Amino acid sequence: MRKIKEVFIEKSLLTSALITILVTLGIILVLSVEAVNFFKEVPIIDFLTDTQWTPLFTDKHFGIMPLLSGTLLTSFIAIAFAVPVGLSISIYISEYAPRSFRKSIKPALELLAAVPTVVYGFFALTVVTPFLQSFIPGLSGFNSLSAGLVMGIMIIPFVSSLSEDALHAVPNSLREAAYGMGSTKLQNSFRVLVPAASSGIIVSIILAISRAIGETMIVAIAAGQQPRLTMDPTVPVETITAYIVQVSLGDVEHGSLEYRTIFAAGITLFIFTFLLNTFSYKIRKKFREKYE
In the complex, the smallest distance separating the C-beta of residue 188 from another protein, rounded to whole angstroms, is: 9
d(CA 75, CA 56): 25
Within 13 Å of residue 87, how many CA atoms lie on the same side as its CB? Answer: 19
Q: Which residue among 7, 19, 44, 181 contacts another protein (CB under 8 A)?
A: 181
DSSP letter at 64 equals S
Nearer to another protein, 11 or 290 (CB): 290
User: Does the protein bind another protein through residue 179 (CB under 8 A)?
Assistant: yes
d(CA 138, CA 151): 21
d(CA 287, CA 168): 14
User: Does the protein bind another protein through residue 290 (CB under 8 A)?
Assistant: yes
User: Does the protein bind another protein through residue 182 (CB under 8 A)?
Assistant: yes
φ/ψ region of 237 (left if φ > 0, alpha if ψ in -120 to 50, else beta) reads: beta
User: Does the protein bind another protein through residue 177 (CB under 8 A)?
Assistant: yes
Contact 208, 187 (CB under 8 A): no
How far, in Å, are 99, 101, 196, 197, 290 from residue 188 at the CA level? Answer: 18, 21, 11, 12, 20
Q: Fill in the per-residue mask, 216 to 235: x = in contact with another protein (CB under 8 A), - = not in contact.
A: --------------------
Contact set for another protein, span 48-107 (CB under 8 A): 99
- 197 sits in which H/E element: none
d(CA 164, CA 104): 14
Nearer to another protein, 40 or 290 (CB): 290
User: Does the protein bind another protein through residue 195 (CB under 8 A)?
Assistant: yes
In the complex, the smallest distance separating the C-beta of residue 290 from another protein, rounded to whole angstroms, is: 8
How many helices and strands (H and E) does the chain possess? 14, 0
Binding-site size for another protein (CB under 8 A) equals 20
Q: Which residue among 192, 201, 223, 262 contacts another protein (CB under 8 A)?
A: 192
User: Does the protein bind another protein through residue 184 (CB under 8 A)?
Assistant: yes
Q: Which residue among 11, 40, 191, 285 contacts another protein (CB under 8 A)?
A: 191
Q: Fill in the per-residue mask, 157 to 176: x = in contact with another protein (CB under 8 A), - = not in contact.
A: --------------x-xxxx
- Using the rule CB under 8 A, give the single segment among 12-20, 32-40, 183-191, 236-244 that binds another protein: 183-191
**Residues with Cβ within 8 Å of residue 59, at least 6 apart in sequence:** none
User: Does the protein bind another protein through residue 137 (CB under 8 A)?
Assistant: no
User: Does the protein bind another protein through residue 187 (CB under 8 A)?
Assistant: yes
In the complex, the smallest distance separating the C-beta of residue 191 from another protein, rounded to whole angstroms, is: 7
Nearer to another protein, 61 or 185 (CB): 185
Nearer to another protein, 175 or 211 (CB): 175
d(CA 107, CA 102): 9
d(CA 261, CA 10): 42
Contact residues: another protein, CB under 8 A: 99, 171, 173-184, 187, 191-192, 195-196, 290
